[in-house]
Amino acid sequence: MSAGARIHEYQKLTSSIPLEQGICIPFHSMLGQVQFSNVGFAYPTREQQMVLENFNFTIPCGKTVAL
């Protein structure tokens, strides 16, 4: 299965969490930065080979970043 086909499969999924009585978070309350501190990651098939180790990254408010 290609990566594009997998993305399409994810787009077709529906949430198992009921959306009843949900609230909308006002945009102005979400201003701020996103920060990763000392993040580590390894794929389940290669747990001994760290892809990210002690990864630190800050995304300032209003910026868009792709990894």
Residuewise pLDDT in 10s, the chain (67 residues): 688 888 888 888 887 777 677 677 777 766 788 999 999 999 999 999 999 999 999 999 888 888 7
Closest to 62 (Cα-Cα) out of 37, 25, 33, 28: 33
* pTM passes above 0.95: no
CA distance 46 to 66: 24
pLDDT at 29: 65
pLDDT at 45: 94
Q: What is the dihedral of CA 59, 62, 6, 45, to 10 degrees?
A: 10
